[in-house]
Structure 1
Amino acid sequence: MAASIESPHTDPSGATGIGAGPQVLSTSNKLEVICGPLLNYRRMSNERSGSPTWHGSVLVVTTPGQQHPELTLSLAGAIDATARNAAFTRAESRRFAGEKLYEDSDKAFWRFTIDLPFQEFESRWEYKINGLTYVDEKETGMPQTFAVPSVAQSMRILFHSCNGFSVGTDMETWQGPSLWNDVLRMHAQKPFHVMIGGGDQIYNDGVRVGDGPLRPWTEIGNPHKRREFLFGEKLRADCDEYYYKNYVQWYGTKPFATANGQIPQVNIWDDHDIIDGFGSYTDRFMRCAVFRGIGGVAHKYYLLFQHHMAPPKSTFTTDAPNTTDVGPDGTPVDPVQLKNTFVMTDDLDDPSYMIGSKPGPYVEERSRSIYCQLGARIAFVGIDARTERTRHQVNYPETYKMIFDRLDKEFSANKNLKHLVLLLGVPIAYPRLQWLENLFRSPLIGPIKFLHKRFGVAGGLFNKFDGSVDLLDDLDDHYTAHQHKHERRELVHALQKFSKSHSARVTILGGDVHLAAIGRFYSKPKLGIPAEQDHRYMPNVISSAITNKPPPQAVANLLASRNKIHHLDHDTDETLLEIFDRDPGVPTKSNGAANGATNGAVNGDVKSKTSNANHATMPSRNYAIICESHPTPTSSASAAPPAPVAAPTTNGEAAPAQTSTPPDAKANARKPMHAGEQGAGTGHPAAAGLQATGLCGQYGLDITLRVEISPKDTEGHTDGYGFSVPALEIAA
């Protein structure tokens, strides 16, 4: 029997895979959907006679036994009224067959791999899954639409992270994913072409509390017994059910679920997609059976829900000795796990993925970083900073080499690329907290730890996994942690070398820390280099969390007080930009009302977020908008970049983009240092996040942080803080 299970075969649906599946067939002419649709963006190509093609996928989770589902895709029209009379001769309605990625006795995952031609105008596309009906009869399978930029445009980007709640959050105060209402409002006014998930798209920490399957393990007091605890087939199956049901519940929760079907996603993962702190505990503890087991299960559903990829054929369990010996391609097959189960085996990796050369130390699969082009002039890289992570490394050196080799290849082949948006799971330009790390590791903590073990003293200070101070796993995660110092410097230097070599600006995205901030690397003022010509100028947009609760005001103020001017090397400094000129929702003297606030926000409920001295860190839920600073027309007769236009100023008059004066060595670098940063905050032209400012020339970016005004507002209204990033033009 085992031999037949392990032999690839063709499923009745037409898919090639391993495992016989549940052997049930639906007799309904309806497609019974449990969760979805989920829309992903993958990449651009020039496969159709040189015409750029958009590639993506749609995923639905259905009841088992479904047969041959189909998706119909059609061009719904132009978004810009000036292009509505254009001829739609290049885009007739097309049908795409579903591909079954995985099926067991409870559910099946179907992917529709779709593509479409970019138009000469910003376009809206409609897709409909034929016969779709929801198991929950309250839902209806209406057609979905999404936006695609014109062939001459770069994409309008939504960036978010930390989309869930930590264990113990007061749910009466922090009511659900309300900021997604604001995302949908912004999307309706000016559509997003892609949304980038920076990690923690879901919080799976509940697996260890309440009725979660890992609660008995978590409550074992003896660290040795906890390390030796077995991860047998029963526990594996229970954890599998938990992760699956948690994904279905969260990805089916509105308004997040609505955004999932209308804005194409590109995701990397972080610790909460597995469990809090995964990868940053001690190596001895991370190699225990339970961590190996849940790493495999979480990875399975991460691939299915977030990447629309077939999972590994099996995951680790101590009941199947062959799964404990990881080969170069991951975990071997366990016939027990394939009972009544089908897994696709011929799923080809999309060219957008950069696959690690060997499995990670704890998630025993190869890392999956991403390269893709976001429209005409922006390239994107998302580094998988969790699969290879340990307490002492973020990624393998060979992974960094693979990524920069790919970047050199892509930018050498396409001279239209002017900007790299780099996604990291955690911030890299961020205040140092080494003094706090040293305190938590010092002998001073020893007596408190002893009292905690014997009498439960300071229970909230220590985690239940390895007995260390609970904040240590978060601090160890950061690039600014002392053990990552060398790796951090090497990464920044590699980015500087790439930026200079290709005259491409680098903007870094990072989340994880549950507050908003803007970090920047830049050349030391003594070098006299204006930002527009400075390859070392790299902003780090820190946007977190879109759903999870922010840290206390005191923590944000502490971080701001540590916002020193740090010296990365003899040529590079770094610090946070003081962008928060006022708290969100607080009226200003000039306008008498909150900039960006709309109906439903009650300013009387707004409490002070920060101290008067803190203009660098904002402890409120938030997300970010990134788009080109140049107001590119939404329709064009060719793919060539448009000519530069004059940039509007705050009084409505036009002013040309300009090269800033070199920074003054005596000036405060926490303040604006170039034209795009002047007036950063709520009064900046980019604050609203709806119109291109033109402030930073033809290839610059506008950045907007949309910050929640009040957690009591279930509609999630936000206030905007803006600045602009100049394109890079290396001086001759």
Structure 2
Amino acid sequence: MTFGPILFLRAVEDTRLRLAALLCRDGPDEPGDLCADDTRHRPKRLGEIAGKSLWRYDFSLPRGGAADYSVEGEGYTVATDLDGDLRIGFVSCNGEEEGDLSRDPEERDAMWRRMAETHAAAPYHLLLHGGDQVYADEVTRGNPLSDGWPDEVPDSPTPEALDKLRQHLREAFLHRYSVTYAGEGFAHLSARVPSLMMWDDHDICDGWGSLGLVEKTAVGETLFDCAREAFLLYQHAATEDDVPALFSDPSGTSLSWRRDLPGVSVLAPDLRSERTLERIMGPKGWKAFGRACEGLEPRVVIVSSVPLLGPRLSLIERAMRITRRMEKYEDDLRDQWQSYAHRTEWQRMLRCVLKLEETGHRVTVLSGEIHLATRGELRNGDAPVHQLVASGISHRAPPKLWAHVLGTLARLGEAPIPQHPIRIRPLPGKRTNYTAERNYLSLERKGADWRARWALEESGETPWLEI
């Protein structure tokens, strides 16, 4: 299966919007030129996997109003008027752990089609993807070295066996991205709205970073290397050569990034590349994040792939350690900022957010990961820091009972930073703190004011929330 074009935002310049477009096509033949603003652009070949070639067009469009481009005989319109009113879409969790590619596309892509309809009525300028763009948990199946991942991994595989594993994984990642990116709604939107993406665990495998020593085995390192290559190719239209220009850490150890639009900076710390059982970000990641926090626009949007503001999950985490029956769920809770193992680091990130507020910025945090919709507030004087969680653009919602359990836990409150308590709040128009429906989020800047609302699969759109 082929896909594309998929648009990616590279930079907003004084008069131009700099973009990249990714195509996947059968065979080695170069596709036709991309035409934009009376200029023809030839593609750059990024690589070949399993008889398919990946191509990137680097081009720009004039800012203001709308601009068109065409490739392979089809035209697309992009909203490039970024200085006034602005619309940003946010999605996460585009898949499921088991059998995702065999689901009925009508069911799987229902919210993507609805989001495409939303864009047709009021165009988005940017689409943020907050993690789990694909669910790659099944890519390890079909190779003897990785069939038992993560419970059964061979101690000393031969170089030849690892080469075969690498080939298997690269082809499996390509297949998963190809099917996902060709989906109706996603394909329509991604050809017309520039994307920015940050990965989470399922883009590698379930719980990556919280699985312990198995990640340091030859099989684990091969899995991470292939997932990282796939992240660069399919989520950024990039290769290793592009890393210093696109990410905040030139070494590529951390794949955190920042992009500036008029009046708003978008930051996405990488919460996976350096994660261990004891930490969420490593030295490279924290240095990159600190560098990204300098010289920001007045409004700051932080994409945290796991919720930064949340209930006291450490209570459940500690209780699970009492019984071995619950140990298999411990890595899911260790993944969270709220884990007892990460409390000091969580406090450090919260202080970074509060420092940005103290220096005159208004911060909004966007998160996914939990397959529910909710919001949180970090008290900071009269104007709280808002966290907006939109999770499950295609992942089906968990039982409503789980939403009630989390809601009950949230009522206990949490205050890792004295005088700045965290509260979980219902969506506008809802009574419970967590809403168990598939969803996506829209942010709008109208004049100087910002607001947000959720689109829910069963309930429809919420009222606007002023942020």
> TM-score band, normalised by the shorter chain?
over 0.9
Q: 2:242 and 2:12 mapped to 1: Cα distance?
A: 17
Q: How far apart, in 2, do the equivalents of 1:168 and 1:721 lie?
A: 35
Q: Partner of 2:192 in structure 1?
A: 262
Q: Paired residue for 1:106? A: 51
Q: Distance in 2 between matches of 1:161 and 1:215?
A: 31
Could you say which residue in structure 2 is the equivalent of 1:514? 371
Q: Give the equivalent residue in structure 2 for 1:321.
A: none
Q: 1:59 to 1:574 in 2, by over 3 A?
A: same
SS of equivalent residue, structure 1 residue 38: strand
**Residue aligned with 1:278, SS:** coil
* Structure 1 equivalent of residue 280 of structure 2: 394
1:124 is matched with 66
Please say if residues 89 and 442 of structure 2, whose CA atoms lie closer than 8 Å, have aligned partners that are also in contact. yes
- Provide the C-alpha distance between the structure 2 equivalents of 1:235 and 1:162, rounded to a whole number of angstroms: 26
3-state SS in 2 of match to 1:146:
strand
Listed as ranges, the matches of 1:50-69 within 5 Å are 52-67=15-30, 69=32
The number of equivalent residue pairs is: 463
8 Å contact kept, 1:160–1:196: yes
- Cα deviation for residue 723 of structure 1 reads 1.0
Aligned to 1:163: 94
C-alpha spacing 1:222/1:366, structure 2 compared with 1 (3 Å): closer
Q: Would you say the 8 A contact 1:64–1:104 is kept in 2? A: no
Per the alignment, do residues 504 and 222 of structure 1 end up closer, same or farther by CA in structure 2, a change over 3 Å counting? closer
Give percent identity, aligned residues only. Answer: 24
**Aligned mates of 2:442, 2:151 — CA distance in 1:** 47
Query: 1:489 aligns to what?
Result: 347
Q: Secondary structure, in 3 states, of the residue corresponding to 2:36?
A: strand
Counterpart in the other structure of 2:254: 367
The match for 2:123 is 191
Distance in 2 between the 1:171 and 1:557 partners? 28
Q: In 1, distance between residues paired with 2:54 and 2:181? A: 14
Residue identity in the other structure for 2:434: T
Q: What TM-score results when the alignment is normalised by the length of structure 2? A: 0.92
SS of 1:572 mapped into structure 2: coil
2:415 paired residue number? 567
- Residues 377 and 154 (structure 1), Cα distance of their counterparts in 2 relative to 1, 3 Å cut: farther
Q: 1:275 aligns with which of 184, 197, 205?
A: 205
Relative to 1, partners in 2 of residues 1:721 and 1:394: Cα closer, same or farther, differing over 3 Å? farther
One-letter amino acid matched to 1:42: R
Deviations 1:266-290 (A, max 9, x none): 00101111111111111x2211122
Measured after TM superposition, the shift of residue 126 of structure 1 is 1.6
C-alpha deviation, 1:571, in angstroms: 2.0
Task: Give ranges in structure 2 of 5+ residues lacking alignment.
Answer: none
User: How far apart, CA to CA, are the structure 2 residues paired with 1:429 and 1:530?
Assistant: 18
Q: Which amino acid aligns with 2:405?
A: L
Q: Which residue of 166, 172, 179 corresponds with 1:242?
A: 172
Question: Which whole-Å CA distance do the structure 1 matches of 2:146 and 2:238 have between them?
Answer: 31
Alpha-carbon displacement from aligned partner over 1:677-727 (angstroms, at most 9, x marks no partner) = xxxxxxxxxxxxxxxxxxxxx2x31011111118xxxxxxx33243111xx
Q: Aligned pair in 2 of structure 1 residues 222, 354: CA closer, same or farther (>3 Å)?
A: closer
2:2 is matched with which residue?
34
Distance (whole Å) between structure 1 residues aligned to residue 408 and residue 312 of structure 2:
11
Q: Secondary structure at the match of 2:210?
A: coil
Distance 1:620-1:505 versus aligned 2 partners, 3 A rule: same
Matched, 1:403 2:275: no
Opposite residue 166 of structure 1, the aligned amino acid is E
Shift in CA distance, 71/287, structure 1 to aligned 2, threshold 3 Å: same
Q: Residue type of the partner of 1:512?
A: E
Alignment partners' CA distance in 2, 1:422 and 1:165: 25
- Residue 382 of structure 2 is aligned to residue 530 of structure 1: yes
Q: Distance in 1 between matches of 2:92 and 2:63?
A: 29
Q: Could you tell me whether the CA contact under 8 Å between 2:268 and 2:303 is conserved in 1?
A: yes
- TM superposition shift of 1:348: 4.1
SS of equivalent to 2:312: coil
Q: Is the 8 A contact 1:154 1:377 kept in 2?
A: no
Corresponding position: 1:291 with 2:220: yes
Q: 1:40 corresponds to which letter in structure 2?
A: F
The 8 Å contact of residues 337 and 346 in structure 2, kept in 1 or not, is answered as: yes
Which blocks of at least 5 consecutive residues in structure 1 are unaligned?
A: 1-32, 47-51, 75-92, 133-140, 313-346, 358-364, 412-416, 449-460, 462-467, 524-528, 532-536, 583-613, 633-697, 711-717, 726-732
Match runs of 1:300-699 below 5 Å: 300-310=229-239, 312=240, 347-349=241-243, 351-355=245-249, 357=251, 366-374=253-261, 376-408=262-294, 410-411=295-296, 417-442=297-322, 444-445=323-324, 448=325, 468-469=327-328, 471-501=329-359, 503-523=360-380, 529-531=381-383, 537-563=384-410, 564-579=412-427, 581-582=429-430, 615-628=432-445, 630=446, 632=447, 698=448
The 1-side partners of 2:417 and 2:28 are apart by: 60
Contact 1:179 1:547 in 2 (8 A): yes
Q: Give TM-score scaled by structure 1 length.
A: 0.60
Cα RMSD after superposing both structures: 2.4
Letter in 2 for 1:125: A
Higher Rg of the two aligned structures: 1
Tell whether the 8 Å contact from 2:90 to 2:129 is kept in structure 1 after alignment: yes
**C-alpha displacement at 1:492, in angstroms?**
0.9
Aligned residue identity for 1:124: A
Tell me the distance in 1 between the aligned counterparts of 2:87 and 2:306.
Answer: 22
